[in-house]
Structure 1
């Protein structure tokens, strides 16, 4: 992922059908600076460490069929450009963490998180 994350013009990343393998993903400084859309679909990811400096341009996060994911990292809610989180068939704890992120944005007066879709 470090090699992919270092691609300077990468704006869309779709990780489908175990394209990302392993229970932990920890982003590093300097990765994914221009990424606007991140789709994670059917992986065995359980824990994910992100802060707002890792994905500063992220506008849309889509998590689909991530049955093992425990929650959405707290740093996701601090990304100022984030407009949408889409969830499809994820654990209740993931849904709850998305709702917390939405509430944090509203408290801070940043209403750019438009909606959360539960498909």
Structure 2
């Protein structure tokens, strides 16, 4: 239960908006949790939603996605598409700001 409180406070500190809980639309009684955050992988943003049979399981799944990355180049983007966009990366002890290259510039052709 102490982990749940730590996860909730850490997720709240990201400033990614409210934690939203929802019931899945499939036949099984599962809970989904989401925030306004995505995982940036190369040039693709992947949704982050935690799922579980209980709130705690869904929270742990959301936390895992925010802190365990498939590739070393991945990081978390909050509020993508807004002026409040922020990028962070979990370093094992906390979320640290992550510098994003200018996303609006076109690569030069020589």
TM range (shorter): under 0.3
Bigger strand share: 2
Q: Structure 1-normalised TM-score?
A: 0.22
Q: Structure 2-normalised TM-score?
A: 0.23
The higher radius of gyration belongs to 2
